[in-house]
Amino acid sequence: MTKVIKLALATSVLAGSLMANDVLNGSGASFPYSVYNAWTKAYYKTTGNKVNYISKGSSKGIKDAKARAVDFAGTDKPLSPKVLKKNGLYQFPGVVGAITMGYNLPGVDNLKLSRAAIVAISEGKVAYWDDAVITSTNKGLKLPHKPVTFVHRADGSGTTFNYTYFLSKVSKEWRHTYGAKKSLNWPGHQHIGGNKNTGVASLIKQTPFSVGYIDYADAKHNDIVMASVENKAGKFIKPSLKAFQAAAAKADLNPKKDFYSVIADPKGADSYPIVAATFVLVPKEKPATDKKVTAFYDWAYKNGQDIAKGLGFVPLPDSLTDKIRKYWEAKGIK
């Protein structure tokens, strides 16, 4: 091999290595995709550092993290400290958001759904929109005698986990029969499934007299009407940033437990009940790469608050981001 060829190959390998090191690749939860996508664009514009995040759903994000297929992964279902240790992963929260009950009911834009109605719809026990479990909390609203179509996620989903966790908090029957899961065989006969939150949004828009659970950002982006939902205090709360913030303030995210916590159905008269934190997973054995990931999220915590709010997410409070930075320091990834 000539010196010229050797030099060309060496230069090529070095260039490829630098390019690979300059780009961070992540995948997973679709729930925070809109805010992560906006953050990565703003981060690149400000720092020149490129971060890719592919929306696949939480199940595939966890799978990618365990397989070391990406530099970081997103999941709406937090992993327990035991599972993290077994798989050599660290975990911290990225942002807080909300799951809404979006619906397609021509002529109706102020629907209220009680806790009992949401469980009954999810169980497939509500055949028509004028069922008493819905009409009892919508006095004066003329609801049609039309079949109810329930729209859910078809793929493994952290949104589904947090939604079914909420159902488990509300209903003992649901908790004992189905529990909180990323995917399940939905009961009843009047339900359809879509992939990722974007798929659920499309199905709701295409299906008159449907209702389904969907993250606030995708519902808002697709102009889907969202119901007011009864919270633990018995109040009907419209989806709004203020109501999400009231709920997020009740969250218990402890670094000693790798922030392992599900925050749905918090206390508080003004709290929106179906809220969720979304999490980031990074591998323990790659501290140099992890430091680049945490640098991105540190930038987002400091500079991405307006972006998050504009998309309907709740930026993490300073008290929590301080805990996260200390967690990074303790793990040697800051």
CA-to-CA dists, residue 54 to 34, 61, 170, 240, 324, angstroms: 11, 9, 33, 27, 24
Q: What homologous superfamily is domain 99-248 in, according to CATH?
A: Periplasmic binding protein-like II (3.40.190.10)
- The C-alpha atoms of residue 112 and residue 122 are separated, in whole angstroms, by 16
More confident residue, 2 or 34: 34
Q: Which two tokens stand for residue 44?
A: 């690149």
Question: Do 55 and 308 contact (CB within 8 A), yes or no?
Answer: no
Could you tell me where in the chain the CATH 3.40.190.10 domains are found? 24-97+249-264+271-330, 99-248
Identity of the residue numbered 311: L
- The C-alpha atoms of residue 106 and residue 6 are separated, in whole angstroms, by 69
- The C-alpha atoms of residue 12 and residue 16 are separated, in whole angstroms, by 6
Question: Do 99 and 213 contact (CB within 8 A), yes or no?
Answer: yes
198-253 pLDDT tens trace: 999 999 999 999 999 999 989 999 999 999 999 999 999 999 999 998 998 888 89
CATH class given for the domain over 24-97+249-264+271-330: alpha beta
Please give the pLDDT value at position 250.
Answer: 84
Q: Which two tokens stand for residue 200?
A: 């659920």
Supply the mean pLDDT for the chain. 91
Please give the pLDDT value at position 333.
Answer: 97
Question: Does the structure show a pLDDT above 90 at 327?
Answer: yes
Mean of pLDDT values over 242-267 = 90
Please give the pLDDT value at position 171.
Answer: 97
- The C-alpha atoms of residue 207 and residue 87 are separated, in whole angstroms, by 41
Question: Does the structure show a pLDDT above 60 at 49?
Answer: yes
Question: Do 158 and 75 contact (CB within 8 A), yes or no?
Answer: yes
Please give the pLDDT value at position 18.
Answer: 38
Of 112, 109, 185, 107, the residue nearest 146 (C-alpha): 107
Mean of pLDDT values over 316-333 = 94
Please give the pLDDT value at position 252.
Answer: 85
Question: Does the structure show a pLDDT above 70 at 17?
Answer: no
- Look-up of token digits 């990323």: 182
Please give the pLDDT value at position 152.
Answer: 97
